[in-house]
A and B are shown apart, each in its own frame.
Chain A
Amino acid sequence: MSKGEAAGPRVRGGLPRLDWKRARRFVTSERAIGMGLIVPSLVAVLVFVYGFIGWSALVSVSNWHNVNPDYTFVGLDNFRDLFKNFRFQIDIRNTVAFTVLFVGACLVLGLVLASLLDRYIRGEGIFRSIYLFPMAISFIVTGVAWRWLLAPRAGVNLLASKVGLSGIHYTWYTDSTVVYVHQGSRLADALDAIGLGFLADPNFGVPLAMISVVIAATWQMSGFVMVLYLAGLRAIPKELKEAARVDGASELQVLRHISLPLLRPVTLSAMIILGHQSLKIFDLIVSMTGRGTGFATDVPALFMFESTFRANNFSRGAAVSIVMLVSVSVLVIPYLFWSLRRESRL
């Protein structure tokens, strides 16, 4: 067999042989420079991201509950205790409520703003900038500003009383009410009938204090969603919409049957980006409301912070962070596969 033949596996004596010629042809000068430039970042990411994730996972299965490290392996005990912890159960409920409300509100508001801006109005650039500005502020600043705005003794309540609506004394983020299906109500009985009776519990409710946090977060991120949708709307060929209008469709029907289906990829991207942000939300909570009355605005990230740095309970903090990592991965990894597949198909 001559050297140049591209035969089957180049095996000699049972072992696969390295094809240096092919390797040399692969390592061109451009590729070498490219690889060389990537290597530092690669090493940095491997160590500081994946290395530290591995370290957190190690700590989460250790017995480290004080300032002195104790790396005794305890299996999944920390995770079991975590899911039995009443505060963590409330955190999960709060995260679900916040995610649903925040993502929903941002998508709706973003779509509405984008549809309004899509009319090629004068000053569109100005309005786009105004709606996008809040995204440039850090969550800490947003949190502090909205904390003052929605403080029960000041801000919006004070403004309302000065304007004459003196009856408004809403407690905003100090409200400890949780809206849930009460035992003995008709809805609870209906749920019972289909075997979902356990849902009639405060742990499956919506804390009203979260609404204040959702308002602040939506104010910050809806501009971003608006920009995504604007790009998406502009990508829809005008002929489709004109054809629909010619056929007698109203604007709403055009939106519902033409625009929205074609905006599905944008909606999915926005949902993923907002979703992973809301699962990890910390700085907004810490600067705006803290843990809230009865943990109404507590989130896993805040629980992790307090466990690790106040209570010195490093293993529990690590367990919370691993749970957060898994929940974000469940959201993001399928999306990555889906978008990569799409790109390779295009």
Chain B
Amino acid sequence: MLVRWKLWLPAAILLMVLVGIAVACGGDDEEASPTPTGPTGSPSPLSGKLEIFSWWTTGGEAAGLQKLYQLYPQQCPGDVQIVNSTVAGGGGDVARQVLSSRMQGGDPPGSFQIHMGHELLDSWVASGDMESLKFLFDQQNWANVFPQGVLDIVSKDGQPYSVPVNIHRANVLWYNKKTFTDAGLQPPKTFADFFTVADALKAKGITPLALGDKEAFASVQLLEVTLLGTLGPDAYKGLWTGKTAWGSSQVTDALNTFKRMLSYTNSDHASLTWDQANDMVIKGQAGMTIMGDWVDADNKAKGFTNSGWVPSPSTSGTYDALSDTFGLPKDAPNRDAVICWLKVVGSKAGQEAFNPLKGSICARTDCNKSLFDPYLQSAMDDWSKDSIVPSLAHGAAASPAWAADISDAVTAFVASQDVGALQGRLSTACKDSGVCS
């Protein structure tokens, strides 16, 4: 008896451990997914759960998302229960990681928020995990409502893969109206104007350009608007397709301009975030900041009414766009409910409900202007007529790996000021991404 007992105790414990591991790794049984019914014609009553995955957790963004959820039952009759899956944190970084593990594990949410352009196309579309939305775009006649520029950005080989719900602009120069009137200055239109204004501000002891690049995207965005201003929209777009050579003299000019602009920024930019840089403009310590139009929401939140804006130097007539979009994963649970969600997101009512709260403009060109504040109204005017180019810093122009290489090159440049090295690294980054040869 004693002899047997000595051996079965550890054996029993080992068995318990192994059983525990087996149960934990067994996983849940997949819910029987409804057989795909293809592009739905008539709206049949929907049911079940619809999981929407995003990083809109606070403020206007969350409020706008809730508005969309309220609109959903009106456009999609039935009793679909919407599950608001959000992951908080920093511009979606954490959310993207969670999404990545879910997609690779074969457990996609119904639909997820992702930036338009290569952030989606080079990841989940390239891996074959997303369905083409051509049927939906044709059915909803969205080709007549979204500008061709944005259709180009969300499509790969002519097939659109996501529906843009909002549009932000990256090439905006914000300035303090009072500072400018006191100094007798006009907001700059071209790079030459910019440097004249900057010198005048510097002479008065005001930092010409406030930069807050604790988050690396801020300097990358400054580089992108400089490239845009120097090269123009077509050559800029060519950088991302391999048509424009990164080693060309035009790019060298742009990089030298970038270097010159950096010389007019505050020296402690590495410790400030973009909104702290905006604080400098609000307080009159700085004259201008070049940042996306989320500055408008920041100004409103801080009660700053003396804000003026112009397109960033030499980019008038060009809209450097970034957008949050929703797509259709291939094994999305409750596919019909997801398709109806995409319809809501792309609809006039949906975009009019969401965008005023978020502080962005509709991706559609037919939204009601009176719902938006003065800056957004002027942005909507520009949106319907400007040339649209994809933003680098926000996932539209280049894949995340390429964008990360560019970000590293820019960070090194901000300290070394070596234009040759920067240009070399940018060329190498293009080759490493596979776009340049």
A345: CB under 8 A from chain B?
Answer: no
B412 & A36 in contact (Cβ 8 Å cutoff): no
Tell me, rounded to whole Å, the shortest Cβ–Cβ distance linking B211 to chain A.
Answer: 11
Q: A40-B16, A151-B271, A172-B271 given; name 6 further pairs at CB < 8 Å.
A: A28-B6, A36-B10, A68-B126, A152-B271, A295-B411, A310-B400
Q: How far is the CB of A253 from chain B (nearest CB, A)?
A: 46
CB < 8 Å: which of A67, A171, A172 contacts B100? Answer: A67
A230 at the interface (CB under 8 A from B): no
Shortest C-beta distance, B11 to chain A (Å), equals 8
* B122 close to A66 (CB less than 8 A): yes
| In the complex, chain A residues 32-60 whose Cβ is within 8 Å of any chain B Cβ | 32-33, 35-37, 39-40, 43, 47
A265 at the interface (CB under 8 A from B): no
Q: Are B268 and A66 in contact (CB under 8 A)?
A: no
Chain B residues with CB under 8 A of A219: none
Residues of B within 8 A of A291 (CB): 216, 411
Per-residue 0/1 for B1-14: is the Cβ within 8 Å of any A Cβ (1 yes, 0 no)?
01101110110111
B427 to chain A, nearest CB (A): 14
Contact between A309 and B96, CB atoms less than 8 A apart? yes
The answer on a CB contact under 8 Å between B104 and A69 is yes
A294 to B271, Cβ gap below 8 A? no
Q: Does B203 contact A (CB under 8 A)?
A: no
Q: Does A311 count as interface, using CB distance less than 8 angstroms?
A: yes
Complex contact A173–B271 (CB within 8 A): yes
Distance to closest chain A CB from B278 (angstroms): 14
Q: How far is the CA of A36 from the CA of B17 in the complex (A)?
A: 11
Q: Is the CB of B401 within 8 A of A294?
A: no
Q: What's the least CB distance linking A131 to chain B, in Å?
A: 29
Contacts of B9 in A (CB 8 A): 32-33, 36
Q: B405: which A residues are within 8 A, CB to CB?
A: 311
Whether a CB of chain B sits under 8 angstroms from the CB of A313 is: yes
Which residues does B use to contact A, with CB under 8 Å?
2-3, 5-7, 9-10, 12-14, 16-17, 21, 93, 96-97, 100, 103-104, 122-124, 126-127, 214-216, 267-272, 399-401, 403-405, 408, 411-412, 414-416, 425
Which residues does chain B contribute within 8 Å of A90, judged by CB atoms? 412
Selected contact of A39 from candidates B6, B14, B399, CB within 8 Å: B14
Docked pose: A90 CA to B100 CA in angstroms? 29
| A174 in contact (CB, < 8 A) | yes
- The residue on A at minimum CB distance from B122 is A66
Q: B6's closest neighbor in chain A, by CB?
A: A32
Interface residues on A, range: 35 or more
The verdict on A312 contacting B10 (CB below 8 Å), with A68-B126, A87-B408, A152-B271 known, is no
- Could you tell me the distance between the alpha carbons of A252 and B152 in the complex, rounded to whole angstroms? 76
Complex: how many Å from CA A28 to CA B9?
12
- Tell whether, in the assembled complex, residue B17 and residue A39 are in contact, meaning their CB atoms are under 8 Å apart: yes
Whether A174 lies near B269 (C-beta < 8 A) is yes
Chain B residue with the shortest CB-CB distance to A69: B104
Once the chains are docked, how many angstroms separate the CA of A215 from the CA of B436?
45
Question: Please, how many angstroms separate the alpha-carbon atoms of A90 and B411 in the complex?
Answer: 12
Measured CA separation A311–B432 after assembly (Å): 13
Chain B's closest residue to A313 (CB) is: B401
Report whether A66 and B401 are in contact in the complex, using a CB–CB cutoff of 8 Å: yes
Q: Which chain B residue shows the least CB distance to A154?
A: B271
Residues of the B chain whose Cβ atoms lie less than 8 Å from the Cβ of A312 = 100, 123, 400-401
| B-chain residues with CB within 8 Å of residue A311 when the two chains form the complex | 400-401, 403-405
Interface flag for A269 (CB, 8 Å): no
- Within the complex, what minimum Cβ distance (angstroms) separates A89 from chain B? 11
Q: Across the two chains, which residue of chain A brings its CB closest to B16?
A: A40
| Alpha-carbon distance A293/B216, docked complex (angstroms) | 10
Q: Top 5 closest A-B pairs, CB basis?
A: A294-B415, A311-B404, A36-B10, A176-B415, A152-B268
Check A293/B408 contact, CB under 8 A, given A24-B3, A312-B401.
Answer: no
What distance in Å separates the Cβ of B193 from its nearest Cβ neighbour in chain A? 28
A residues near B123, Cβ cutoff 8 Å: 66-67, 312
- For the complex, what is the distance from the CA of A86 to the CA of B411, rounded to whole Å? 12
Nearest-neighbour CB distance to chain A for B406, whole angstroms, equals 11
Chain A residues closer than 8 Å to B127, beta-carbon distance: 66-68
25 contacts between A and B (CB under 8 A): A32-B10, A36-B10, A36-B13, A43-B21, A47-B21, A66-B126, A67-B124, A69-B104, A86-B412, A147-B271, A151-B268, A153-B271, A174-B267, A176-B414, A176-B415, A293-B411, A294-B416, A295-B412, A295-B415, A309-B96, A310-B400, A310-B404, A311-B401, A311-B403, A312-B401
- Bound together, the chains give a CA A296 to CA B127 distance in angstroms of 36
Residues of chain A contacted by B16 (CB below 8 angstroms): 40
Expressed in whole angstroms, the minimum distance between the Cβ of A309 and any Cβ of chain B is 5
Q: How many angstroms between the C-alpha atoms of A313 and B403 in the bound complex?
A: 12
Task: Please give the distance in Å from A301's CB to the nearest CB on chain B.
Answer: 16
Query: B415–A171 contact, CB under 8 A?
Result: no
Contact of B414 among A40, A43, A293 (CB under 8 A): A293
Residues of B within 8 A of A294 (CB): 411-412, 414-416
**Candidates B2, B10, B93; contact of A310 at CB < 8 Å:** B93
Bound-state Cα–Cα, A67 to B5, Å = 51
Closest CB of chain B to A227's CB: distance in Å?
A: 33
Contacts of A32 in B (CB 8 A): 6-7, 9-10
- Answer whether residue A242 sits at the interface, using C-beta atoms and an 8 A cutoff: no
Are A67 and B10 closer than 8 Å at their CB atoms? no
Residues of chain A contacted by B13 (CB below 8 angstroms): 36-37, 39-40
Q: Which of B17, B104, B216 contacts A67 (CB 8 A)?
A: B104
Which chain A residues (218-243) contact chain B, with CB distance < 8 Å?
Answer: none
Chain B residue contacts of A310, Cβ below 8 A: 93, 400, 404
- Smallest CB–CB gap between B210 and chain A, Å? 12
Asked if B400 contacts A174 (CB within 8 A), the reply is: no
Residue interface mask A261-290, B partner, CB < 8 A = 1: 000000000000000000000000000011
Q: Tell me the complex Cα distance, A24–B5, Å.
A: 12
By a CB distance below 8 angstroms, the chain B residues around A176 are: 270, 414-415
Residues of B near A153 (CB, < 8 A) are 268, 271-272
For chain A, residues 56 to 88, give those with C-beta under 8 angstroms from any C-beta of chain B.
65-69, 86-87
| In the complex, A124 has a CB within 8 A of chain B | no
Q: Is A197 an interface residue (CB 8 A)?
A: no
Q: Does A185 contact B (CB under 8 A)?
A: no
> Does A307 sit at the interface, judged by CB under 8 A?
yes
A309, B408: Cα distance in complex, Å? 15
Q: How far is the CB of B378 from chain A (nearest CB, A)?
A: 32
Chain A stretch 1-57: residues in CB contact (< 8 A) with chain B = 24, 27-29, 32-33, 35-37, 39-40, 43, 47
